[in-house]
A and B are shown apart, each in its own frame.
Chain A
Amino acid sequence: MAKVLIPTPLRQYTDQADSVELGGATVKEVLEALTARYGELKRHLYNDEGKLRSFVNVYVNDEDIRYLDKDATPVKDGDVISIVPSIAGGNHGR
Chain B
Amino acid sequence: MIRIEKDAWRTVVGHAEAAYPNECCGALLGVCENGAKLVKEAVELENAFTGSRRNRYEVRPEDLLRADRAARDRGLDLIGIYHSHPDCDAYFSATDLKNSCPWYSFVVVSVRGGKVDHVRSFLPNPEQTAAEAEDVEIPSGN
Contact = CB atoms under 8 A, between A and B. Distances in A.
A86 B104 CA distance: 12
Interface string A30-62: 000000000000011000000001011101001
A85 B79 CA distance: 12
Nearest 3 A-B pairs (CB), nearest first?
A89-B96, A90-B56, A85-B101
20 contacts: A7-B68, A9-B102, A9-B103, A44-B126, A59-B61, A84-B64, A85-B61, A86-B59, A87-B25, A87-B99, A88-B99, A89-B83, A89-B93, A89-B96, A89-B98, A89-B100, A90-B55, A90-B57, A91-B86, A92-B56
Given A7-B68, A86-B99, A87-B59, 11 more contacts: A8-B77, A64-B62, A82-B65, A84-B62, A84-B65, A85-B103, A87-B25, A88-B49, A88-B56, A89-B100, A94-B94
Contacts of A94: 91, 93-94
B59 A90 contact: no
B118 to A, nearest CB: 14
Given A91-B88, A92-B55, A93-B95, A86 B101 contact: yes
Interface residues of B, number: 39
Chain B residues touching A, majority SS? mixed
A8 B69 CA distance: 12
A7 B27 CA distance: 13
B6 to A, nearest CB: 22
